[in-house]
Amino acid sequence: MYFQKFFLFVPIFQNTNYIFSITTEIIPQIRGQYSIFNYQTKDDVYRYKSKLRKSHKEKIPFHVEDHHLIPQEFKKHYVIQSSKFNINCSNNLLIMPGRLSKDLFPQKIIHQGHPHYNKRVRFYLNHIGRSECNETRQYQLWLLLKHLEESILRHETMLFSNPNHVRKE
Protein backbone atom coordinates (compact mmCIF):
# COMPACT_ATOMS: atom_id res chain seq x y z
CA MET A 1 0.00 0.00 0.00
CA TYR A 2 1.18 3.54 -0.79
CA PHE A 3 1.02 4.78 2.80
CA GLN A 4 3.08 1.99 4.33
CA LYS A 5 6.15 3.50 2.67
CA PHE A 6 5.25 6.85 4.18
CA PHE A 7 5.52 5.55 7.75
CA LEU A 8 9.14 4.59 7.18
CA PHE A 9 10.16 8.18 6.52
CA VAL A 10 8.34 10.06 9.26
CA PRO A 11 9.71 9.78 12.79
CA ILE A 12 7.17 9.03 15.47
CA PHE A 13 8.54 9.79 18.87
CA GLN A 14 8.04 11.72 22.05
CA ASN A 15 10.49 14.23 23.40
CA THR A 16 10.12 16.42 26.45
CA ASN A 17 8.05 19.05 24.66
CA TYR A 18 6.16 17.41 21.79
CA ILE A 19 4.37 14.21 20.87
CA PHE A 20 4.33 13.09 17.25
CA SER A 21 1.55 10.60 16.62
CA ILE A 22 -0.23 8.83 13.80
CA THR A 23 -3.74 9.41 15.08
CA THR A 24 -5.02 10.25 11.62
CA GLU A 25 -3.91 6.96 10.08
CA ILE A 26 -1.70 8.76 7.59
CA ILE A 27 -0.49 12.12 8.85
CA PRO A 28 1.63 12.46 11.98
CA GLN A 29 0.23 15.21 14.18
CA ILE A 30 2.29 17.39 16.51
CA ARG A 31 1.03 18.06 20.04
CA GLY A 32 2.99 20.33 22.36
CA GLN A 33 3.14 19.57 26.05
CA TYR A 34 2.56 23.05 27.41
CA SER A 35 -0.29 24.99 28.92
CA ILE A 36 -2.34 26.52 26.13
CA PHE A 37 -3.31 29.31 28.54
CA ASN A 38 0.21 30.17 29.68
CA TYR A 39 1.64 30.11 26.19
CA GLN A 40 5.11 31.35 25.29
CA THR A 41 5.60 31.73 21.52
CA LYS A 42 9.37 31.28 21.77
CA ASP A 43 8.89 27.85 23.40
CA ASP A 44 6.62 26.47 20.67
CA VAL A 45 8.99 25.57 17.84
CA TYR A 46 6.15 23.91 15.86
CA ARG A 47 3.78 26.90 15.94
CA TYR A 48 2.02 28.04 12.77
CA LYS A 49 4.44 28.99 9.97
CA SER A 50 7.56 28.02 11.97
CA LYS A 51 10.58 26.58 10.14
CA LEU A 52 10.38 23.26 11.99
CA ARG A 53 6.67 22.86 11.25
CA LYS A 54 7.30 23.58 7.58
CA SER A 55 10.16 21.06 7.56
CA HIS A 56 7.94 18.43 9.20
CA LYS A 57 5.20 18.95 6.60
CA GLU A 58 7.68 18.78 3.71
CA LYS A 59 8.51 15.17 4.72
CA ILE A 60 4.93 14.12 4.00
CA PRO A 61 4.81 12.76 0.43
CA PHE A 62 1.56 14.47 -0.59
CA HIS A 63 0.02 17.93 -0.34
CA VAL A 64 -0.99 18.92 3.21
CA GLU A 65 -2.18 22.11 4.87
CA ASP A 66 -2.52 23.36 8.43
CA HIS A 67 -6.05 23.60 9.76
CA HIS A 68 -6.71 25.88 12.74
CA LEU A 69 -9.14 24.13 15.09
CA ILE A 70 -10.20 27.56 16.31
CA PRO A 71 -10.03 29.56 13.06
CA GLN A 72 -7.87 32.65 12.82
CA GLU A 73 -10.89 34.88 12.32
CA PHE A 74 -11.64 34.41 16.04
CA LYS A 75 -8.29 35.75 17.21
CA LYS A 76 -10.01 38.77 18.77
CA HIS A 77 -13.04 36.90 20.14
CA TYR A 78 -13.71 37.64 23.81
CA VAL A 79 -13.21 33.99 24.88
CA ILE A 80 -9.87 33.74 23.06
CA GLN A 81 -8.63 37.08 24.41
CA SER A 82 -9.76 36.53 28.01
CA SER A 83 -8.28 33.00 28.03
CA LYS A 84 -4.97 34.26 26.62
CA PHE A 85 -5.13 31.48 24.04
CA ASN A 86 -2.82 31.79 21.03
CA ILE A 87 -4.61 30.84 17.81
CA ASN A 88 -1.28 29.93 16.16
CA CYS A 89 -0.02 27.50 18.82
CA SER A 90 0.80 23.99 17.63
CA ASN A 91 -2.02 22.53 19.75
CA ASN A 92 -4.58 24.49 17.74
CA LEU A 93 -3.37 23.03 14.44
CA LEU A 94 -4.08 19.83 12.56
CA ILE A 95 -2.14 18.78 9.49
CA MET A 96 -4.72 17.69 6.93
CA PRO A 97 -4.62 16.53 3.33
CA GLY A 98 -4.88 19.59 1.09
CA ARG A 99 -7.02 20.21 -1.98
CA LEU A 100 -4.30 18.84 -4.26
CA SER A 101 -4.48 15.48 -2.42
CA LYS A 102 -8.25 15.00 -2.53
CA ASP A 103 -8.08 12.22 -5.15
CA LEU A 104 -5.82 10.21 -2.81
CA PHE A 105 -8.32 10.50 0.06
CA PRO A 106 -11.89 10.21 -1.22
CA GLN A 107 -13.19 9.23 2.25
CA LYS A 108 -11.22 11.79 4.26
CA ILE A 109 -11.95 15.38 5.19
CA ILE A 110 -9.79 17.58 2.97
CA HIS A 111 -8.66 21.01 4.12
CA GLN A 112 -10.44 23.69 2.12
CA GLY A 113 -12.70 26.66 2.78
CA HIS A 114 -14.98 26.01 5.74
CA PRO A 115 -17.60 28.74 6.33
CA HIS A 116 -20.06 26.30 7.97
CA TYR A 117 -17.35 25.04 10.33
CA ASN A 118 -16.51 28.64 11.27
CA LYS A 119 -20.18 29.37 11.94
CA ARG A 120 -20.33 26.40 14.32
CA VAL A 121 -17.15 27.43 16.13
CA ARG A 122 -18.51 30.99 16.52
CA PHE A 123 -21.69 29.56 18.06
CA TYR A 124 -19.66 27.46 20.52
CA LEU A 125 -17.36 30.36 21.44
CA ASN A 126 -20.32 32.68 22.01
CA HIS A 127 -21.90 30.05 24.25
CA ILE A 128 -18.65 29.65 26.21
CA GLY A 129 -18.44 33.44 26.53
CA ARG A 130 -21.64 33.51 28.58
CA SER A 131 -19.78 32.08 31.56
CA GLU A 132 -18.63 34.72 34.03
CA CYS A 133 -15.72 32.67 35.38
CA ASN A 134 -12.51 32.76 33.31
CA GLU A 135 -11.40 29.33 34.58
CA THR A 136 -14.70 27.88 33.40
CA ARG A 137 -14.27 29.55 30.00
CA GLN A 138 -10.74 28.15 29.73
CA TYR A 139 -11.92 24.65 30.60
CA GLN A 140 -14.78 24.86 28.11
CA LEU A 141 -12.41 26.17 25.43
CA TRP A 142 -10.07 23.23 26.08
CA LEU A 143 -13.05 20.84 25.78
CA LEU A 144 -14.06 22.52 22.53
CA LEU A 145 -10.55 22.10 21.12
CA LYS A 146 -10.59 18.40 21.99
CA HIS A 147 -14.08 17.97 20.51
CA LEU A 148 -13.08 19.67 17.24
CA GLU A 149 -9.84 17.70 16.99
CA GLU A 150 -11.45 14.32 17.65
CA SER A 151 -14.36 15.03 15.30
CA ILE A 152 -12.01 15.89 12.44
CA LEU A 153 -9.71 12.94 13.12
CA ARG A 154 -12.76 10.67 13.02
CA HIS A 155 -13.75 12.30 9.71
CA GLU A 156 -17.10 13.48 11.06
CA THR A 157 -18.28 15.73 8.26
CA MET A 158 -21.13 17.15 10.35
CA LEU A 159 -18.84 19.96 11.51
CA PHE A 160 -18.46 21.14 7.93
CA SER A 161 -22.09 20.82 6.85
CA ASN A 162 -24.60 23.64 6.81
CA PRO A 163 -25.56 24.24 10.45
CA ASN A 164 -29.19 25.28 9.85
CA HIS A 165 -30.00 24.58 13.47
CA VAL A 166 -27.21 26.91 14.69
CA ARG A 167 -28.76 30.31 15.20
CA LYS A 168 -26.93 33.57 14.63
CA GLU A 169 -25.76 35.40 17.71
The CB density around residue 64, as the number of other CB atoms within 10 Å, is: 20
**Mean pLDDT in residue range 133-144:** 97
Instruction: Please give the model's pTM, rounded to 2 decimal places.
Output: 0.80
Residue 147 scores a pLDDT above 50: yes
pLDDT tens-digit readout, 11-63: 444 455 676 665 545 688 888 889 999 899 988 999 999 999 999 999 988 88
Among 156, 153, 71, 155, which Cα is nearest to 114's? Answer: 71
Residue 159 scores a pLDDT above 80: no
Pairwise pLDDT comparison (77 vs 166), residue with the higher score? 77
Among 57, 50, 49, 48, which Cα is nearest to 90's? Answer: 48
pLDDT tens-digit readout, 59-110: 988 889 999 999 999 999 999 999 999 999 999 999 988 888 878 877 777 7
**DSSP 8-state class, residue 14:** B
Q: Three-class SS of residue 40?
A: coil
3-state helix, strand, coil in the chain (%, to 5): 45, 10, 45
Question: What value does the mean pLDDT of the chain take?
Answer: 82
Q: In angstroms, rounded to a whole number, what is the distance separating the alpha carbons of residues 158 and 87?
A: 23
Report pLDDT for 6.
37
Helices 134-153, 115-128: inter-axial angle, 10-degree rounding: 150
